[in-house]
Amino acid sequence: MTAITARESGSTIVHRVRRSPAPSMRALSVSSGETPAYDLVNGRPDRLSPYPGSELRTWTEQELLVCAGAGAPSNLAGPQAYVDSREEAVAAALRAGVDSFTDHGTDASVVLGRLRRALERGLIGQEDVDRVVRRQLLTARFLLGEFDPALVLPRNEPMGDGAPLLPLTPGTADARLAVAGLLADTVEPGWYSGALPHRSSPLDGIRGRFGADRVDFAEGVDRIRLRTADGRALRVPEPTGGESVRGPEAALDPALPAGRTDLPPLTAGTEGGSVLDLIDWGDGVPTLRALGGRCLSVAEDGRVRASADEPGGWVVRETFRFEAHGDGHLLLRLGTGGYVSVAADGVKVAADRETAETFTVETVESGEEAVARAAAGAGTVIVAAGNDPHIDGRETEDRADPCVRRPPGPPVAGRARHSSSPPPTRTRYRTRPPRSRPCCGPRTAAPRSSPSATA
């Protein structure tokens, strides 16, 4: 693990920061847990503070789950050297009120072994273990609905005629529904969620309820080709020699995936050229997805491949930024910097702007127009919108503007609203706080081609 730099804080700051949320938490009872800081507070690691047991849990009547940050238990006997052994570290954290240990990725055997040895040495008792099990299993996991059947509780506002929106009544048996939006046919795993045993998207549920033949779907993303300055188009080659199988047993911790190198990199040629989905997540941060469903990603060797099932990783490998340059754009890879270039052996990320390729964007299909077509023939339109938690809800990544912006990509809801009657139903996925004030600062969207370049 990377060593965490210790920082000293005064007791006045500790009380002000820890106590300030107490009244609202007590009134609303909305908190389910807390993660202590990595830092030293008055010379003591924060996760060994008595506050979770002596004060924090008095703020609400329901149980709170206190989770250790990733690698924090190891830090106690490692970089911070606050205790002499790993067993003493987990025992001290457990007694201080920490209920869940995030350490050593998906290998739970390491922490479990330390806890068993701590129990054998008498550093913790059975009552400590029972208390944690009660908080984790019998309280937090049940309260969060982990063992409940699937249930959706949407906001059911009345429509113009005063009738509630739900349940949906599309009218006659042949009435059509339209579903639009980037998140309508996806299930976002989020951080640390592991391999999902099954997925059922909003679109799956709507088709199952009303029949697939009555539901039209438009994702609302532009489909494009990228061409180099000399007119060659980027191409996603077919895998050679068969693709390696990646089942649940090969799934990686979503916080720590590695880029794939078993697929061929993109190339550029004068014939054909692959169509890519340009997915605009807002703030000028797009991902590019091949028609086979995989996002363009960059592995450790610097090659650009259509290899990622979805954006993810502690350093997200699938996000880019278009920078205006001459008559086109440079393509900056955001994860570690560097610009996309085209070499004889494939497309890769270069070290600097001097060797970067200048691309032009050719629109093959407009996402806005696809949504308009789907909405025009429907009596009911459902829009699913929001963000990907690995991009604009990312842990450790500061945002220049603390409030939430509507992504500046295709205005799916607006296009659906003007193309349908009655107005569309909106379903929003969000992993960031709701906007509390007007957004500030400039906003840069992903580039779009001119009408003359549209195929």
Instruction: Please provide the DSSP assignment of 349-369 as one string.
Output: EESSGGGPPPBEEEEEE-HHH
pLDDT classification of 452: cutoffs 50, 70, 90: very low
Are the C-beta atoms of residues 307 and 287 closer than 8 Å to each other?
no
Are the C-beta atoms of residues 42 and 8 closer than 8 Å to each other?
yes
pLDDT classification of 29: cutoffs 50, 70, 90: low
Is the pLDDT score of 39 beyond 90? no
Residues 6+ apart with CB under 8 A from 428: 384, 385, 386
pLDDT of residue 248: 40
Is the pLDDT score of 110 beyond 70? yes
Higher pLDDT, 304 or 174: 304
Alpha helices, DSSP H, located in 83-224: 86-96, 109-120, 126-133, 141-143, 202-210
* Alpha carbon of residue 347 to chain centroid: 26
The percentage of the chain sitting over the pLDDT mark of 90, rounded to a whole number, equals: 35
Write down the mean pLDDT value for the chain: 77
Q: Is the peptide bond before 248 cis (omega within 30 degrees of 0)?
A: no
pLDDT classification of 165: cutoffs 50, 70, 90: confident
Is the pLDDT score of 416 beyond 70? no
Higher pLDDT, 375 or 139: 375
Whole-angstrom distance, CA of residue 133 vs CA of residue 123: 17
Is the pLDDT score of 348 beyond 50? yes
Q: What is the mean pLDDT of residues 294-307?
A: 92
Q: Scanning the structure block, which residue is given the tokens 């703030």?
A: 283
Neighbouring C-alpha atoms within 13 Å toward the C-beta of 428:
12
Residues 6+ apart with CB under 8 A from 400: 441
Which segment of 94-98, 154-158, 308-312, 430-434 scores lowest on mean pLDDT?
A: 430-434
Is the pLDDT score of 199 beyond 70? yes
Is the pLDDT score of 18 beyond 70? no
Whole-angstrom distance, CA of residue 276 vs CA of residue 304: 14
pTM: 0.72
- Of 69, 7, 66, give the one whose Cα is nearest residue 40: 7
Higher pLDDT, 55 or 451: 55
- Of 448, 416, 388, give the one whose Cα is nearest residue 217: 416
Is the pLDDT score of 136 beyond 70? yes
Beta bridge partners of 217: 179
Whole-angstrom distance, CA of residue 339 vs CA of residue 318: 13
